[in-house]
Structure 1
Amino acid sequence: MSMYDCIVVGSGHAGSCAALSAKEHVLMVDKCPAEWVGGNGYFTAGAHRTVHSGVDDLLSIVRNVTPEQAQVIDMEPYTREEFVEDIMRLGARRSDPSLVAALVDNSRQALTWLAQKAQVPFILSFHRQAFEVNGRQRFWGGLVTSVEDGGKGLIRAHQAALKDAGVEIWFDCPVFDLVKRDGRVAGVVVRKDGLEVQIESHAVVLAAGGFEANSELRVAHLGQSWDKAKIRGTPYNTGDCFAMAQSAGAKLTGDWSSCHSTCWDWNAPSLAGARDLTNQYTKSGYPLGIMINAHGLRFVDEGEDYRNYTYAKDLQFGKAILLQPGGFAFQIWDTKALGYLRKEEYGDEVVEKIYAGSVEELAHKLSAIGLQNGAQLIETLRTYNQGVKEHMSEHPELKWDPAVKDGLSTESSSTSLSPPKSNWALKIDEPPFVAVKVTCGITFTFGGLAIDPNSAAVLSESTGAPIPGLFCTGEMVGNLFWSNYPGGSGLTAGAVFGRKAGESAWKCIPKMN
């Protein structure tokens, strides 16, 4: 076998960034078949969170906005301080500040590099992160950039760039050990065409994802109920490389007891995402309505914060749904909110919607698909509407606005609900009423390997120093996200640390004098 300059384990977004940064003579290996290329990146909406100074700053990298169209866009700058604070506050301030700083400080440059090096077709995310208000497109929640055709477009661009760069890719090629020699990692052992093959390299980059597709590890680390969660993405992220890294002396770190999970279509496949609909099974319209469990009771504050700050939160909302009776919930709206639901998630061809002309009819129809207490649903809606009414009567100056935290809630001097709804609370009283059944979909796990924030080198458990020849990126990185994260940060992190890993791997190559 040839000596490779760098071997990248994993064909997803982060691994692709590493391979494209490792200069030359790079081998990428993945245990998935070729038709499953792309890891979890394929199943994303393509959102990348980045520091920016406003819409004009992004016009050079996005493809769906002209300077004239930019004049009707309201987009606040997203500063370094805001990005750092979002990660830290959502992670209960347990994230490693040096990793967070490395991610944030390199975020904008990473997007420019992706647009140029991989020709990633970035767009402004009107369909996910903006609402039209008074004839203007108003962006919210700090996240503004996405990719044309979502994760499919992202991986398509990567595959074209990898081909142009001459990166060799072996599919159906699981790695089951690292080659250790003279105190460094010097290659991998794979199974190719039924044979055990040792491949030599100057550096190895681990980008094989977390353990979310391994039910045994989910139960061991996340808890018993997690064996019932649906897999949102690739079924090949089973955590194998963590044990291999440990055998090479790597340090495990971060939040191994929680994960990124969210509201997911009850009718979606259970063991893997669907490569046609990918992220369309997400059901993120809960801030515009309410969610109830099988007993007809609300159980979360649907309006606690912007969707991209709550959808992946531990205990909210995926895990909270998983812990409800039967592991499911119903999202409910009336006609006032229907026009604001994203068509890619709630279109008739994507999800089964239950329509009703009255609350009583809605309770009856939902009883056929899991609702156990229709009377309680009717009472829940009555008390919710009463809470909204009392709040509005005390705060007539507030106006419903889905693009800001509008303060419209269920709380007043005479009414207090548990849980409250803190923003975007409108009465649900105008038919047709619509409901969708949802469950928990798991995306990726937060625990991972300790890395150096500047080089993405994997750190030793015994010494705390970098392990020569071993690097890590993507969802295998630990101590970056704890219990929650700001939407769009994962792909950006994959790019930032993928570039660092690839560049560091290239430096491991002996240079000719």
Structure 2
Amino acid sequence: MSDIKIYETDIVVVGAGNAAMCAAISARENGADVLVLEKAPEAEKGGNSTFTHGSIRFSYNGVEDLKEIMPDLSQEDIDSSDFGVYSEEQFYDDMCRVTEYRTDPELASILTEKSFETMKWLTDHKVRWVPIYGRQAFKVDGKFKFWGGMIVESVGGGPGLVEALHKEASSLGVQILFDAMAVELIRDDNGVQGVIFNHNGNSAKVLAKAVILASGGFHANPEMRTRYLGPKWDLAHARGSRFNTGEGIQMALNIGALSSGNWSGCHSVGGDRYLPEFTEGFQKLSYPFGIMVNAQGKRFVDEGADFRNYTYAKYGRLILDQPGQFAWQIFDQKVTHLLREEYKGRQVTKVKANTLEELAEKLEGIDPAGFLQNVKEYNAAVRKDIPFNPNIKDGRCTEGLAVKKSNWALPLEDGPFEAYAVTCGITFTFGGLKINTATEVQNLLSKSIPGLYAAGEAVGGLFYFNYPGGAGLMAGSVFGKRAGEHAAHFIKTKETINS
């Protein structure tokens, strides 16, 4: 160990995605020297953030607020769009409702109250935003109406967000090491003092006054998935970064950190059955406008229970529970123009047929007779007297079925029909480390571990069973920024006491 390379800095950040880079930028602008350790090579940097659309949820009180974060918003966009209002109270209520009121109330309050302020901070640090036309609003009667509390995405999607944050961090003097996998926290009786890591195959360590863990969850680790999420989760399709295998969380647990949150829960979506793991384009999220059937040809979920934003992160689990861990999404010509862009790629498991009978024979793994019978019953149950409107929860439902469809119910009758084979994809895990409102990691005695902070998917307690779309990126930004501020303040306080 005598020739091990030793680095020294004020703060070391483990990870290099949205939460990590917000932490690094925040710590740097608060006067700290910062070193970032990124496990991935530079070409694959950014963790799960790179695999997102860059869609982010935040509270706002109308178009004047939106102009603060989108100064290029044109008058034409404003005139042709109903952006609505999404208050802090609505955001908080959504957090509570979709997590079945298990979300940590203090962390959820910080997330919702600081969301707009953090969006302005990101804008000040050269992250650019645009409205999400097409995925979050449809043109009805000449006007786009946004729904579901999520209206903007970063320019360039997730990769654009990561690139903007990395560029800003570098311009501020943050040092980033790629191919640098953290393996152990250095600690003594006074707290955490740095990180041992592997850099390009060589052991190294960084001595630091504080450590911020923002290295994601364990969605890419089949052993941890099965241990914590349960049987069949080793069979789930892994989305996002292949580098999110849980070491950051484990390092903290190894020194007595307290775990928190929904360790048996995760963000799981429906997506292409045969697309390779860790590739983009997996999600297939237009299911509210069609039906989903299992191997028996039966519907098993209320596709129209709510806006896609509030159901997609839990419906993957339901697909995993079906025979063979797959399903088919079925659409007719009335809605194919509403399908999101991920349905139009080349790597899509899709079949098309002019009649339902022809379609039934093409659906691999599906009982044709069961499928046709279930579609017949579904078509007969649709309330055709209620108008269809994709921009609102229109109440166009079914009646008399064991599995109801609550909104956007349209009979499957206009060919050609399109069907897409889907399976369960895991995006990120909900269990993680217990932090307090200052993002300090707590120990088994519920006391702060001096010098250790956490943000992003490494934190548990915010999401249970489900999550509101876009809340993950927002949480990473809010708590990443907060971790950087508090870690920098901790250092200053420590130096004052020691001087």
Q: Give me the TM-score of the superposition, normalised by structure 1.
A: 0.93
Structure 2 residue runs of 5 or longer lacking an equivalent are 1-5
Matched, 1:214 2:221: yes
Q: Which residue of 1 aligns with 2:3?
A: none
How far the C-alpha of 1:162 sits from its partner, in A, is 1.6
CA deviation digits over 1:43-86, x for unaligned, max 9? 00111100101223202222663023202211221111111110
Partner of 2:175: 168
User: Is 1:186–1:469's contact at 8 Å kept on the other side of the alignment?
Assistant: yes
- Identify which of 21, 30, 43 aligns with 2:26: 21
SS in 2 for 1:332: strand
- Secondary structure of the corresponding residue to residue 224 of structure 1: coil
Match of 1:347 in 2: 344
- Counterpart of 2:487, as a letter, is A
| Paired position in structure 1 for 2:461 | 479
Look up the match of 1:451.
435
Tell me by how many angstroms 1:348 deviates. Answer: 4.5
Deviation at 1:350, TM superposition (A): 4.5
**How much does 1:178 deviate?**
0.5
Q: After the TM superposition, which segments of 4 or more aligned residues of structure 1 sit over 6 Å from their partners?
A: none
- Asked whether the equivalents of residues 99 and 467 of structure 2 are also in contact (C-alpha less than 8 Å), the reply is yes
CA distance in 1, matches of 2:272, 2:60: 33
* 1:98 match: 106
Q: Which amino acid aligns with 1:299?
A: F
What amino acid is aligned across from residue 368 of structure 2 in structure 1? G
> Does residue 9 of structure 2 align to residue 4 of structure 1?
yes
1:203 alignment counterpart: 210
Aligned to 1:335, the other structure's residue is in SS state coil
Is contact 2:138–2:391 with CA below 8 Å preserved after alignment?
Answer: yes
- Which residue of the partner structure matches residue 403 of structure 1? 391
Equivalent in the alignment of 1:286: 287
1:192 CA displacement: 2.2
Deviations 1:310-356 (A, max 9, x none): 0012xxx10111111111110001000001111x2111535232110
Q: Deviations over 1:107-143 (max 9, x none)?
A: 00111111111x1121111121101110000101111
Q: Is the 8 A contact 1:229 1:442 kept in 2?
A: yes
Q: Which amino acid aligns with 2:442?
A: L
CA deviation vs aligned residue, 1:212-233 (integer Å, no higher than 9, x gap): 1110111111111111111110
- Alpha-carbon deviation of 1:249? 2.1
Distance in 2, matches of 1:325 and 1:63, equals 50
* Equivalent residue, structure 2, for 1:298: 299
1:153-175 residue CA offsets vs partner (Å, 9 max, x unmatched)? 11111121121111111111111
CA distance in 2, matches of 1:245, 1:135: 53
Cα deviation, 1:186-230, whole Å, max 9, x if unaligned, reads 100112243322210011000011111110111111111111111
> Which one-letter code corresponds to 2:9 in the other structure?
Y
In the alignment, which of 381, 386, 406 is matched to residue 387 of structure 1?
Answer: 381
Q: How far has the Cα of 1:185 moved from its partner?
A: 0.4
* Equivalent residue letter for 1:450: K
Give the TM-score taking structure 2 as reference length: 0.95
Q: C-alpha distance in 2, partners of 1:285/1:61?
A: 28
Query: What do residues 238-292 of structure 1 show as CA deviations (whole Å, max 9, x unaligned)?
Result: 111222102222110110011001011112113xx22xxx2x3210010000000
2:403 corresponds, among 396, 408, 419, to: 419
Deviates more, 1:189-198 or 1:171-180: 189-198
Within the alignment, does 1:428 sit opposite 2:412 as a pair? Answer: yes
Name the structure 1 match of 2:474: 492
Please name the residue that 2:145 is paired with.
Answer: 138
Amino acid at match of 2:48: N
- Equivalent pair of 1:210/1:238 in contact (CA under 8 Å): yes
Q: Secondary structure at the match of 1:225?
A: coil
How far did residue 365 of structure 1 move? 1.2
Q: What does the per-residue CA deviation read over 1:91-113, in whole Å, with 9 as the maximum and x for residues that have no partner?
A: 11111100000000000011111
Q: Contact conserved, 1:17 with 1:495, CA < 8 A, in 2? A: yes
Deviation digits for residues 286-315 of structure 1 (CA, Å, limit 9, x no counterpart): 0000000111111000000000000012xx
C-alpha RMSD over aligned residues: 1.3
Amino acid at match of 1:180: R
Aligned to 1:312: 313
- Taking the aligned partners of 1:64 and 1:423, their CA distance within structure 2 comes to 35
Structure 1 residue 473 displacement after superposition: 0.2
Residue 238 of structure 2 is matched in structure 1 by 231
Q: Does 1:37 align with 2:45?
A: yes
- 1:509 and 1:475 mapped to 2: Cα distance? 24
Choose which of 426, 448, 451 in structure 2 pairs with 1:466. Answer: 448
Secondary structure of residue in 2 paired with 1:101: helix
Q: Distance in 2 between matches of 1:370 and 1:62?
A: 47
SS of the equivalent of 1:354 reads strand
Counterpart for residue 73 of structure 1 = 81
In 1, distance between residues paired with 2:246 and 2:345? 36
Instruction: Name the SS for the 1:142 alignment partner.
Output: coil
Tell me how many residue pairs correspond in the alignment: 487
Return the alpha-carbon distance in structure 1 between the equivalents of residues 130 and 288 of structure 2. Answer: 24
Q: Tell me the secondary structure at the aligned position of residue 306 of structure 2.
A: coil
Bigger CA drift: 466-475 or 75-84? 75-84
Amino acid aligned to 1:60: E
2:310 alignment partner, SS class: helix
Match of 1:358 among 355, 358, 375: 355
1:505 Cα deviation from its structure 2 partner = 1.3
Q: Aligned residues: percent identity?
A: 44
Partner of 2:332: 334
**Structure 1, 434-443 or 70-79: larger mean CA deviation:** 70-79
3-state DSSP of counterpart to 1:267: coil
In 1, are the aligned partners of 2:275 and 2:347 still within 8 Å (CA)?
A: no
State how far apart, in whole Å, the 2-side matches of 1:204 and 1:147 are: 28
